[in-house]
Amino acid sequence: MMNFAIDVREKGGLRTLRFESECVQGAMRVLHPWCLELEYTRVMMAGLLLRDPSSYPRNVLLIGLGAGSLTKFLYRHFPLSVLTVVEIDGRVVEVASEHFGLPDDTARLNIVIGDGAEYMANTEPSYDLILVDGFNEHSHPGDLNTLPFYQACRVRLSDRGLLAVNLIGLCDGVKGGFAHIETAFDNRAVMFPRCKSGNTIVFAATGEPVNIELDQLSHRARALEERTGLALLPTIARLDKALCCVDGRLRI
């Protein structure tokens, strides 16, 4: 167990999770507990648009629970998905359950209390989607932002696998941990435009190449929004001028 303080606050119908710093680790609109309140969490879900949505994803791994926003969204809107969450601090799981409505369903949601890097190195299941959003009380990812960790992620992805990583603090032209992801995935990785909060979301792929027109991404985004309420069209619009897109296509 970690020894930092965990702080839950509520103001104007917005409930937030913070560790010792003032940085928000998670948020939930009390009247809309299944929605993704923070911009970067919505961008992380853009990975759902990059593969055929008819049967994707079936097995999902989330490293870092926070307030459980990503977990709850996938649990509610993708009933065929089996979710595994690795969280290093059991207190965070308790807080997410008590204050943020984390589902209690051992058939579809497996909560593992442990270190995410160690879990990746020492277990064997494969996943269609791996979401990495783990930070300590200083908003630092530690061993989750290393080349060996990203190499382990690649090994654990299925033939249509995708990795989504929340990187904090990258400036324009600065690769930071993205360089490790590029190396681990043989350059099959892209950075989406930085969020207003400073978060940069990275996607990396294995198996079948991702080669999709932005118009098709927009079509999938509209269908996903109609089904879940998640608005990803603004994210797709920003891709049009991003370095990760050439000739109106996203390739990974």
Would you say residue 85 lies in a domain?
yes
Q: What is the pLDDT along the chain (252 residues), one digit of tens a residue?
A: 557 789 999 999 999 998 876 678 899 999 999 999 999 999 999 999 999 887 789 999 999 999 999 999 999 999 999 999 999 999 999 999 999 999 999 999 999 999 999 999 999 999 999 999 986 544 566 788 999 999 999 999 999 999 999 997 655 555 668 999 999 999 999 999 999 888 899 999 999 999 999 999 999 999 999 999 999 999 999 998 777 788 889 999
What pLDDT was estimated at residue 23? 77
What Cα–Cα distance (Å) separates residue 83 from each residue in 4, 60, 111, 114, 252? 27, 5, 8, 16, 24
> d(Cα 28, Cα 37) in Å, to the nearest integer?
6
Domain encompassing residue 197: 38-210
Indicate whether 2 belongs to any domain.
no
According to the model, what pLDDT value does residue 243 have? 72
The answer to whether position 116 is within a domain reads: yes
DSSP category for residue 64: -
What is the signed CA dihedral for 29, 35, 38, 44, rounded to 10 degrees? 160
Instruction: Count CB-CB contacts under 10 A for residue 252.
Output: 18
* H helix intervals, 100-197: 116-122, 147-156, 178-184
What pLDDT does residue 103 have? Answer: 96
Lookup result for tokens 């920003």: 238
Residue 12 lies in a domain: no
Residue burial 172-191, b: 16+ Cβ < 10 Å; e: rest: eeeebbbebbbebbeebbbb
* pTM across the whole model: 0.93
- Asked if residue 3 belongs to a domain, the reply is no
Q: What are phi and psi of 40, to 5 degrees?
A: -65, -30
Q: In what order do the strands lie in the sheet with 211-213?
A: 211-213, 249-251, 245-246
| CATH number of domain containing 67 | 3.40.50.150
Q: Count how many domains the chain has.
A: 1
Q: Is residue 243 part of a domain?
A: no
- Assigned domain for 173 exists: yes
Task: List all residues 6 or more positions away from 186 whose beta carbon is below 8 Å from its beta carbon.
Answer: none
90: left (phi over 0), alpha (psi -120 to 50) or beta: alpha
State the CB neighbour count (10 A cutoff) for residue 237.
13
1 in a domain, yes or no?
no
Determine contact, residues 229/248, Cβ cutoff 8 Å.
Answer: no
Axis crossing angle, helix 69-77 with helix 214-228, rounded to the nearest 10: 80
- pLDDT at residue 135 in the model: 67
